[in-house]
Amino acid sequence: FPSRLGRILSNGKNDEAGRSTATTDLQRDIQEPNLAARPEKPVLRKPGQPSRLRIRQKQLSGSRSDSGGELPTHLTDDSDSDNPIEYRDDVHLRSAPSTSKYDDDDDDEDVPMGGLASKVFRKDTLALRLDAPPCKDDINGQTADDRRALMHNASIKLARKLSERPTAEELEDRNILKIAARKTMEEKRKLLLRKLSFRPTIAQLKEQQIIQFNDYVEVTQAQAYDRKADKPWTRLTSTDKALIRKELNDFKATEMDVHEESRIFTRFHRP
C-alpha cells in the first residue's frame, strides 16, 4: 500500500509539471507569435486553377456515372432518434426522373400550351402559309391575266363614273345638295345686312335702355353762316336800344316765371 501511494503521488507531481510546462508554452506562443508560420493548406486558389465547387460537381457526376444506379436519397445515423437527412437534389430526382434526349423532345411537343404560351409561341413562315385559308382567286381558278383584265375593266368604269358630273336632282336625292337650307341662309344674311344698315335713333336707344341721357350729345343741322363782317348790334340807334331794354324789362316782369323769394334778385335794364 505505501508503495502504491507513493506511485500515485509521483504520477500526480508529473502531471502537474506537464500541465505547467504546457501552459508556459501556450503563454509563450500567445505572447510571441511566429511570423514565419504558414498554413498547412492554401486559402486562396492559384490563377487558372478550377474552383473547389467545380471539382466537387465533377466528382459527384463521375461517381454517379460509375455507379450506374440511383444514389441513396437519405443517410441513416447510428442514433434512432434523428430523422433521415434529405438533400436538396433528392426532391429534384424524385419529381423529375431521368429520361433520354428523345423523350424530352416528345414531352415538349405533347405539353399543352396556355393562353400566354400560345401567344408567345413562334411559328415559321411556311407554317403560317399552310394554316392560312386558300385565296378566292385560286378557288375560282383564275389566272394572273384574268385578274389583270378584271382590274382594268373596273378602273375604266370608275374613271368614266368620276368624269360624269351629277345633276342637281341626283344630288338632292342623295341629300348632298340642300336648296332649302341655302335659301334660308340667304334670307338670314339679307335680314342681318338690312338691320345693320339702319342706324337706330336716340329715342329707340333710350327705350331699349342701351344708352342714358348723359351718354350722348345731340347735334342738329345748322347752316354755315359767317358773322364776322356783319355785326347788327353796332348799327342800332339809341331809340332801338331803348325799345329793346323796355321789351326785356316787360318780359322779366310779367312773363318770366320767377320764385317769389328770388324776385328781389331779378335784374332789370335801365330805361
The SS3 assignment for 71 reads coil
Residues 143 and 145: their CA atoms lie apart, in Å, by: 5
pLDDT given for residue 108 in this prediction: 47
Torsion of CA 15, 16, 17, 21, to 10 degrees: 100
pLDDT given for residue 61 in this prediction: 66
The SS3 assignment for 120 reads helix
Name the burial class of residue 142, with classes exposed (0-12), middle (13-18) and buried (19+) by CB atoms within 10 angstroms of its CB: middle
pLDDT digits (tens, 9 = 90+) for 196-248: 888 888 888 888 888 877 777 778 888 887 666 666 667 788 898 899 999 99
74 beta partners: 86
What is the overall mean pLDDT for the chain? 71
User: Residue 53: is its pLDDT beyond 80?
Assistant: no
pLDDT given for residue 51 in this prediction: 61
pLDDT given for residue 168 in this prediction: 82
Taking residues 166-174, report their average pLDDT. 84
User: Residue 194: is its pLDDT beyond 70?
Assistant: yes
pLDDT given for residue 130 in this prediction: 77
- Residue 249 phi/psi, 5-degree rounding, is -65, -40
Of 242, 240, 249, the closest CA to residue 268 belongs to: 249
75 beta partners: 85
Residues 49 and 42: their CA atoms lie apart, in Å, by: 12
The proportion of the chain whose per-residue pLDDT surpasses 90, expressed as a percent, equals 10
User: Residue 125: is its pLDDT beyond 80?
Assistant: no
Taking residues 136-157, report their average pLDDT. 80
Residues 199 and 195: their CA atoms lie apart, in Å, by: 8
249 is written with which cell numbers?
324789362
pLDDT digits (tens, 9 = 90+) for 65-100: 555 555 555 455 454 555 656 555 554 445 444 444
- b/e burial code for range 234-260 (CB count within 10 A of at least 16 → b): eeeeeeeeeeeeeeebeeeeeeeeeee
pLDDT given for residue 77 in this prediction: 47
Considering only residues 83 and 128, tell me which one the structure prediction assigns the higher pLDDT. Answer: 128
Which of 118-122, 138-142, 255-259 ranks highest by mean pLDDT? 255-259
Alpha-carbon 30 to chain mean position: 71
- Residue 139 phi/psi, 5-degree rounding, is -65, -45
- Residue 176 phi/psi, 5-degree rounding, is -95, -45
91 is written with which cell numbers?
426532391
pLDDT given for residue 270 in this prediction: 85
pLDDT given for residue 106 in this prediction: 47
Is the CB of residue 204 less than 8 Å from the CB of residue 195?
Answer: no
User: Residue 107: is its pLDDT beyond 70?
Assistant: no
* Confidence category of residue 179, pLDDT binned at 50, 70, 90: confident
* Confidence category of residue 25, pLDDT binned at 50, 70, 90: low
